[in-house]
Structure formats: C-alpha cells, structure tokens
Structure 1
Amino acid sequence: MYFDTAQLDQKRCYKLLASTVVPRPIAWLITKNEAGQANAAPFSFFNFFSGFPPVICVGIGMKDGRPKDSLANIERSKEFVINLVSEELAEAMNVTATPFDPGVNELEKANVDVVRAQKMDIPRVAASPVTLECKLQQLIDVDTAAKIVVAHVVGMHILDEAIVDAERCYIDTSKLQLIGRMESPGWYTRTHDRFKLKQMSVAQWEKEQSAAV
C-alpha cells in the first residue's frame, strides 16, 4: 500500500515512520537547567553521521509549540551528555521518559547512580556502557515541529569489559548489551540476535559470481 505523506497529519505520519524505521538507537540525554539541576530524557531519533569529525544528531520535538526541557537546556548551555541504554538500564530509562514537571530530577526518580562527565559539569549514568560527551555545533529547524541537534562528540566513556584493543579502538559490541527502540507504544528490541555478512571488494564479488556460473 502506498501512503502519500503530504496527505497525512503529523500524528499519522509520525506513526508510519516510527513503526517502520526500526530499530533505532536510544540517546538518553542528560542536560542541566538554569538552576544547575540535571534533566534526563530518552530520544530515539538519533544516530552518528560522521566518524571524523565525530558528529551525532538528535531530533527533539516541540511540546505545545515550545522547546522541550532537554532542547531548551542545550540551546542555553551548548553541551550535553548522551548515555546509550543497556538492557539492565531499560526500566530506569523508561521512568525518565515520564513527563515530570520542569525542575524535577528524573534520574533521582529512577534511582540512577551518576558520576561527573570528564569535560563538562554534567552527570553521566554510571552504569551506561557507552557515554558520549557532546558540544553543540548547530540547531536545524524542522518547520515548527522539531529541531535537529547537531553536535561534536568531544569524549567517550566505554565499558572496560567491551574493550578488545584500546590502541586500535576495537570494541566487542556484543558486551555492551544495548537495546533499540521499536514501534510505539513501548516496544524495544535487544541486540543479542546478530548475523554477519561478508564484506567484499569488487574483485571478490566478481570471482564469486564466476564460480557460481
């Protein structure tokens, strides 16, 4: 079936994309408000878009026409922390998705232990297997519905047990036990189930094609 997105309202268009562009990594954002209080919220419109320079993007929607707390904090301070979410942290992450009033520390509500980031005065989730310390590069308006946050990754914390070779930056991704976002409401997926495909040069592909004839 074909859907003409120009004929859909915001809610239905969102549902189509969020139900089909899956799985999506989860950016568990931590920012600080003007009073210096931590704010935490998960966003799954997220990925990295350049390996060097290391650049990530996060899409953050508006709430009643105004920036969500995370976005307002990023606009003001120009920095934030992204924690990737392991299966053991899923329930705590879900608690921080609750729309608490501004000024409420979601990390305390979720009983999450935090430690200070390396390059910025923002807490990070101590048990997160991967944390990205980010500096805002630019904000891109998406009409009036959302903004895309483009940021440089200035530092990373990675679970020691997942480090295979620190010098070469080889990581055993399976040990991170990350989860991904699926469709609403409330569906997620584990990254345990994986399969591998062989990466080939053109010469290797042509050789295999010749052998198959």
Structure 2
Amino acid sequence: MHFFKADNMSSKDNKKKLAGTTIPRPIALVMTQSDEVINIAPFSYFNIVSNNPPLVSIAIQRSNGQLKDTSRNILAKKEATVHVVDERIVKDANATSATLPAYESELSVSNFNFINSELIGTPGIKEALVRYETQLYKAVEITDASGLIVADLIILEVVGFHLAEEIYDVDTGYIIADKLKPVSRLAGADYAKLGTQFDLVRPD
C-alpha cells in the first residue's frame, strides 16, 4: 500500500487524494443573494451534520484568502437556499460554476428560474426536485499552517424542506431515490449517477 505524508505534499496533491477517495459526494447547489444580485453556485464539499437540529455543512474554499460570493452573502444575510443536484439540472448547475463578476447573476448563464421561499427571503430554484430553506447556524474559518484563511465551513440549519411530489412517498415519509436521480461528484470533471442499491441490516 502506498503511503503519503500530507505535509510533504502540495495542496493540489492533497486535494487529488481526498477528492478521489471521498466518493461519491453529494452536490449542493446553493442560492444566496446580496442586496442586488442572486448568486448560484455548486459545492461538493457538502453533507449532513445532524438531524436534531437538522443541519447541513458546506465547505467553501477561498481564493487567495478572499471570501467567495456565496460565503459573503451567507455571512451577511444569515440564510441560503440549498438544492440537491439531480440528473435533470446537473448541466445547468455546472454552468453556474463559471467565473462571473459580482454584479452578474448565474441566472444569466443557466436555464434556472427562481421561486419565492416560505420562511426566508432568499428564493429557490424552481426546477430543483429538492430544496432546503436554511439559516446560518455557525461559520468556522479554516486556516493553513501559515494562518491564512483558506476555507469557510458553513453550517446551515434547515428550517423548511421542499420535496417534489414524485420523489416523496407520503405513506412512509421516505424519499424515492430512483425518482430523485441524484448526481454525485467524483474527482476532476467526473460525475456519477445513482448506482445499484442494496440493503444491510444493522446489528443490534
């Protein structure tokens, strides 16, 4: 087995090993807004933190220590709308990763339409099958060995769930994964669809 000491490698090499082995990763498509512009961006450093309270986390990398628009907007407005990327919207979600000036919304490079939220001021993406209305729970600055802030770990509390009728089993309360058709991120430019499913009974 190969062994690599993390502090002997570059940030890029560490990323290759983390992103290539921590797979598949769900993709959060996050909508935020400044006072004037709606921002949309996808993030695959995304997961559940807790169900009581219902929390999700998104790690947003900085560029030369500078906040990304998503982080800046969440820290300012204390809220965001988070969508699960599925097969129907993945191409438009990818389009929103384009580098745009702060005054231009990613709505201009995608076919997305927004829809008003119920509990927060930030709207959501109408085409998404799943969206969470969230409020900021905690933000943690991640620093490198030199003390430079390199990422923002954003923990969001879900205050409302929007679930498309076709993916929600009203009898059991469970999500129908085959209907949701989530897309996951692998490494580099590689993505994956939902594969074979199987059950394992947890031991007592």
Partner deviation per Cα, 1:146-201 (whole Å, 9 max, x = no partner): 010011100011110112126x52221211011001111x111001x222133143
Name the structure 2 match of 1:189: 192
Q: What is the total number of aligned residue pairs between the two structures?
A: 198
- Percent identical among aligned pairs is 27
1:157 aligns with 2:158: no
- Partner AA of 1:176 in structure 2: L
Q: Which of residues 168, 180, 186 is equivalent to 2:184? A: 180
SS in 1 for 2:166: helix
Aligned counterparts of 1:195 and 1:119: Cα–Cα separation in 2: 35
For the aligned residues, what is the CA RMSD? 1.3
SS in 2 for 1:170: coil
- Partner AA of 2:159 in structure 1: V
SS in 1 for 2:4: coil
Aligned partners of 2:33 and 2:122 also within 8 Å:
yes
1:135 aligns with 2:135: yes
Aligned counterparts of 1:20 and 1:198: Cα–Cα separation in 2: 22
Aligned partners of 1:84 and 1:178 also within 8 Å:
yes
1:102 aligns with 2:73: no
Q: TM-score, normalised by structure 1?
A: 0.89
Shift of 1:34: 2.8
CA pair 16-72 structure 1, distance change in 2 beyond 3 A: same
Partner deviation per Cα, 1:80-138 (whole Å, 9 max, x = no partner): 01111111111101110001111111023212122111111222111111101110011
Runs of 4+ displaced beyond 3 Å? none
Q: Which has the larger radius of gyration?
A: 1
Aligned partners of 1:165 and 1:171 also within 8 Å:
no
Q: TM-score, normalised by structure 2?
A: 0.93
SS in 1 for 2:169: strand
1:199 aligns with 2:201: yes
Name the structure 2 match of 1:206: none
- Partner AA of 2:190 in structure 1: W
Name the structure 1 match of 2:82: 82
Shift of 1:46: 0.3
- Partner AA of 1:171 in structure 2: I
Aligned partners of 2:19 and 2:186 also within 8 Å:
yes
Aligned counterparts of 1:164 and 1:189: Cα–Cα separation in 2: 24
1:171 aligns with 2:175: yes
Unaligned 5+ runs, structure 2: 144-148
Aligned partners of 1:38 and 1:105 also within 8 Å:
yes
Aligned counterparts of 1:103 and 1:51: Cα–Cα separation in 2: 36
Unaligned 5+ runs, structure 1: 203-213
Aligned partners of 1:49 and 1:55 also within 8 Å:
yes
- Partner AA of 2:61 in structure 1: G
Aligned counterparts of 2:85 and 2:175: Cα–Cα separation in 1: 16
- Partner AA of 1:4 in structure 2: K
Name the structure 2 match of 1:2: 3
Aligned counterparts of 2:124 and 2:197: Cα–Cα separation in 1: 31
